[in-house]
Structure 1
């Protein structure tokens, strides 16, 4: 895949953002954030485009993109489900909740459902241990989640 296969409108939006920066030095993280907001993730072609526009090596851009966990090199689903696997949540069955989400959404090796609706991941600690086990969907927090709640949570996002 090359730059030519990217959405031209999105690429133009990113280019305009970069061109509008007064100071290009030290702005890589901001540019990566903007690119991820535009494209939804940071495909290799976008990283190469950024490296050329900022005069940085591709290795530098890739290094920063992979160092920070906020950035994703793979496309995400429309909705992001995060299951807390911190000690309190794990002890209260977070692993069973995670497996139920994966089973119901038919998620196997990668973390995104085939229809592109959901991506599931795990977190180390949400910081809401009193609500364990905790699940977030697009930032909305669900506390004291039980395996039997999973179907209802999914329906909120598929029927809404």
Structure 2
């Protein structure tokens, strides 16, 4: 008795069978997170980057086939977001923030020095495939400007000299620890899998927020500063109220002396608050 032939899945991709099977399992898990499976396209694009190192032709076709959409629709998304690469990326993406504060603090000089040192420009990769250099927009680390990121890990308070030394260590294959975050920097492919939503077990490595980030909170606590209590207006009006002045030209209310006194309605609104809620 002859065995029944195994039906192969219909696909236009050129992935080997074992790679395709793993991708399919992971993509199915991604799709199951959402009421509409098409919402899984963004993490699925990170998933194919974790295999190919960029959003390849096969990656686009795979996403389209899994989600039942066209390759053109997938490409439209992949070309919109800068975290998706349409050509092979280096093992490490070295991003130099050149937005306003980092630029003022030396970000442009860092990028120019790295570009000369590595012999590549923006979104270009070194010949050894180790580093892709990028100009990046604000990474919300202005308190540590100028900032360089390696696969989205922070390297704070950089200089042209420290940034080139960092790049040299990455090219030598050394383990490099960021200023904050993981104990060591992972590869672009490993980082892409994390962005696809698969835990690598390293979320709690390294430091979190540093002293400059927490300085404002520390000073507020030392001085017992609290946010002012909001004035609850009655009658549904958001404009001027009887006995008070209208909001200023940028929509801020007048001084406390100009605001109306609290009414019984105000007291009623706040009577069910739990202790300490006003301080939040």
2:8 is equivalent to residue 3 of structure 1: no
Give the TM-score, by structure 2 length. 0.50
- How many residue pairs get aligned? The number is 158
1:122 Cα offset (Å):
1.6
Which of 94, 105, 108 is 1:92 aligned to? 105
| Aligned equivalent of 2:225 | none
- Distance in 1 (CA, whole Å) between partners of 2:92 and 2:19 is 21
1:109 Cα offset (Å):
7.0
In structure 2, the residue corresponding to 1:126 is in which secondary structure? coil
Which of 156, 160, 179 is 1:147 aligned to? 160
- Distance in 1 (CA, whole Å) between partners of 2:41 and 2:144 is 37
Which of 27, 37, 40 is 1:25 aligned to? 37
CA separation of 1:148 and 1:17: change in aligned 2, threshold 3 A: closer
Q: Is the 8 A contact 2:122 2:134 kept in 1?
A: no
CA separation of 1:128 and 1:25: change in aligned 2, threshold 3 A: closer
- Distance in 1 (CA, whole Å) between partners of 2:123 and 2:77 is 23
Which of 122, 126, 130 is 1:117 aligned to? 130
1:127 Cα offset (Å):
1.8
- Distance in 2 (CA, whole Å) between partners of 1:29 and 1:110 is 21
1:116 Cα offset (Å):
0.4
What root-mean-square deviation, in Å, do the aligned CA atoms of Structure 1 and Structure 2 show? 2.4
Deviations 1:16-56 (A, max 9, x none): 33456557732322322322222221112220232123221
Bigger RCO (CA 8 Å, 6+ sep): 1
Structure with the higher strand share, 1 or 2: 1
- Distance in 1 (CA, whole Å) between partners of 2:169 and 2:99 is 25
Unaligned segments of structure 1, at least 5 residues = none
Larger radius of gyration: 2
Which of 136, 140, 153 is 1:127 aligned to? 140
In structure 2, the residue corresponding to 1:136 is in which secondary structure? strand
Runs of 4+ in 1 over 4 A off after TM superposition: 19-24
1:110 Cα offset (Å):
4.9
| Aligned equivalent of 2:53 | 40
- Distance in 2 (CA, whole Å) between partners of 1:69 and 1:43 is 15
Deviations 1:36-79 (A, max 9, x none): 22222111222023212322111111112222333222221111
Greater Cα shift, 16-25 or 92-101: 16-25
